[in-house]
Structure 1
Amino acid sequence: MKIYSHENLSLHRPLPYFSYGQMHEPLEIPERMTELLKAPAALGLEVTTATDIGIGPILAVHDFGYVEFLKHGYEEWLAVEEDLGAQVQTGVFVPYDNPGIGIMAKAAKYQADDSAPISEHSWTSIYWSAQTALNAAEALLNQDTTHDRHNTTHADNHIQLCFSRPPGHHARKSAAGGFCYLNNAAIIAEYLRQKYEKIAIIDTDMHHGQGIQEIFYDRSDVLYTSVHGSPINFYPAVTGHEFEKGRGAGYGYNINFPMAHGTDEAGFFAYVDKAIDTVTLYDPDVIVHVLGFDVYKDDPEARCAVSTEGFTRLAKKMVALGKPLIVLVEGGYYLPKLNDNLQAFLSGLMLKD
Structure 2
Amino acid sequence: MKTIASTDHVLHFPKAELSGGELVRPYECPERWDYIVEALANSGFSAPQAPTPLDMATVEKVHGDDYLRFLAQAWSLWEAEGYQGEALPMAVPNRRMQQREPENINGKLGYFAGATETAITATTWQAVQSSAACAQTAARLLGTSETSAFALCRPPGHHAGFDLYGGYCFLNNAAIAAQQLRDAGASKVAILDVDFHHGNGTQDIFYERNDVLFVSLHGNPGHAFPYFLGYADETGKNEGEGYNINYPMLPGTRYSVWSDALTDALDRIDQYFPDALVVSLGVDTFERDPISFFKLTSDDFTRYGNAIGKRKHPTLFVMEGGYAVEEIGINTRNVLQGFLNA
Residue of structure 1 in register with 2:279 after alignment = 289
- 1:98 positional shift: 2.6
Letter matched to residue 129 of structure 1: S
Residue of structure 2 in register with 1:73 after alignment = 74
Q: Do 1:93 and 1:113's aligned partners in 2 also have CA atoms closer than 8 Å?
A: no
Letter matched to residue 230 of structure 2: G
Which of 105, 111, 129 is equivalent to 2:113? Answer: 111
2:38 equivalent to 1:49: no
1:240-259 to structure 2, matched below 5 A, reads 240-259=230-249
- 1:14 positional shift: 1.6
2:126 equivalent to 1:124: yes
Q: Do 1:246 and 1:253's aligned partners in 2 also have CA atoms closer than 8 Å?
A: yes
Residue of structure 1 in register with 2:200 after alignment = 210
Identity among equivalent positions (%) equals 32
1:143-292 to structure 2, matched below 5 A, reads 143=145, 158-194=147-183, 195-292=185-282
Letter matched to residue 67 of structure 1: L
2:58 match: secondary structure: helix
1:32 and 1:99 map into 2 onto residues whose CA distance is 34
- 1:18 positional shift: 2.8
Structure 2: give runs of 5+ residues left out of the alignment: none
2:338 and 2:70 map into 1 onto residues whose CA distance is 40
Q: Which moved more, 1:185-194 or 1:170-179?
A: 185-194
2:248 match: secondary structure: strand
Letter matched to residue 33 of structure 2: M
1:263 match: secondary structure: coil
Residue of structure 2 in register with 1:6 after alignment = 6
Q: Do 1:19 and 1:114's aligned partners in 2 also have CA atoms closer than 8 Å?
A: no
Moved over 6 A (4+): none
Letter matched to residue 6 of structure 1: S
Q: Do 1:116 and 1:181's aligned partners in 2 also have CA atoms closer than 8 Å?
A: no
2:245 match: secondary structure: strand
- 1:115 positional shift: 2.0
Q: Do 2:142 and 2:149's aligned partners in 1 also have CA atoms closer than 8 Å?
A: no
2:95 equivalent to 1:93: no
Q: Do 1:203 and 1:289's aligned partners in 2 also have CA atoms closer than 8 Å?
A: yes
1:258 and 1:86 map into 2 onto residues whose CA distance is 37
1:304 match: secondary structure: coil
Letter matched to residue 164 of structure 2: A
2:315 equivalent to 1:314: no
- 1:21 positional shift: 4.0
1:246 and 1:350 map into 2 onto residues whose CA distance is 32
1:41 and 1:249 map into 2 onto residues whose CA distance is 43
Residues 189-232 of structure 1: per-residue CA shift (max 9 Å, x gap): 12211201110000110010111111111111110000001010
Residues 110-129 of structure 1: per-residue CA shift (max 9 Å, x gap): 12222221002211111111
Residues 171-192 of structure 1: per-residue CA shift (max 9 Å, x gap): 0111101111101111111221
Residues 316-349 of structure 1: per-residue CA shift (max 9 Å, x gap): 1111111110001110001111122122223213
Q: Do 2:17 and 2:25's aligned partners in 1 also have CA atoms closer than 8 Å?
A: yes
2:326 equivalent to 1:324: no
Question: Cα–Cα, structure 1 residues 141 and 342, in superposed 2: closer, same or farther, change >3 Å?
Answer: closer
Q: Which moved more, 1:63-72 or 1:134-143?
A: 134-143
- 1:258 positional shift: 0.4
- 1:61 positional shift: 1.0
1:139 and 1:297 map into 2 onto residues whose CA distance is 33
1:298-309 to structure 2, matched below 5 A, reads 298-309=288-299
Q: Do 2:135 and 2:177's aligned partners in 1 also have CA atoms closer than 8 Å?
A: yes
Letter matched to residue 180 of structure 2: Y
Q: Do 2:221 and 2:227's aligned partners in 1 also have CA atoms closer than 8 Å?
A: yes
1:253 and 1:230 map into 2 onto residues whose CA distance is 19
Letter matched to residue 220 of structure 2: S
2:15 and 2:194 map into 1 onto residues whose CA distance is 27
Q: How many residues align?
A: 337
1:62 and 1:30 map into 2 onto residues whose CA distance is 25
Structure 1: give runs of 5+ residues left out of the alignment: 144-156
